[in-house]
Amino acid sequence: MTITRFCIMRHGETDWNAEKRLQGQIDISLNTVGQAQAMAIRAHLKKAPAFAAVYSSDLARAWHTAKIATADLGLAVSPAPSFRERHYGTHQGLTSAEAAHAYPAMYHLHQARDLHYTYDTGESLAAFAARIQNGLSTLAEQHRGQAVLIFTHGGVLDIIYRLATQRPLDTPRDFPIPNAGLNWLAHDTSPSAHLWQIITWGDQAHLTVALDELA
């Protein structure tokens, strides 16, 4: 069996998500909506296929989502720093408007998705993508033929989508990455296969009940 299935989920909503404020590696907690989304994931996972392992970014918003969502699975959540959000250096904590005002030249590089721009004290897009690809390859090898559950961040999922679709890193994003969205991918190591395939992307059907309860 050469196919490994990955269910990769973005963390639940935070106040900074709602404000469209760049979080990066700053630790921000889930808000009320985010906690409800994590509970909705928990209900959905009760009906999902069995997982061999659960991994999560060690940043609080992903880790707390994972702990709530997997409470009924009987599996420990393993910390996976490889799936942390990108470090955005000087831009962390800022909205797009604030970043454009404070660092106009740097913001231009951010918008252009410059591969080597590090935000002075952060992580380049090229280095970030390499980190994610290495982390996925490691898990695909460790769990060949199994199903794996990962909780992570929007920037990480941006890289994963591009890896699976062979889309360049420096092109604008034209695909959704919703909080607590359901993303299934398959990894095939057979010589004749395309390595990654998207099965489901950005599915939010499991969130309907949770969001209705908050309305």
In the set 44, 64, 85, 143, the catalytic residue is: 85
**Kind and range of the H or E element at 199?**
strand 196-203
- Cβ count near 121 (within 10 Å): 11
Look at strands 3-10 and 182-188 and give their pairing: antiparallel
DSSP for 66-122? HHHHTTTTT-PEEE-GGGSPP--GGGTT-BHHHHHHH-HHHHHHHHTT-TT--TTTS
Quote the tokens at residue 1.
């069996």
In the set 11, 44, 87, 143, the catalytic residue is: 11
Would you say how long the chain is, in residues?
215
The answer to whether residue 101 is catalytic is no
The answer to whether residue 187 is catalytic is no
User: What's the rounded Cα separation, in Å, for the pair 82 and 84?
Assistant: 6
Point out the residues that are catalytic. 11, 85
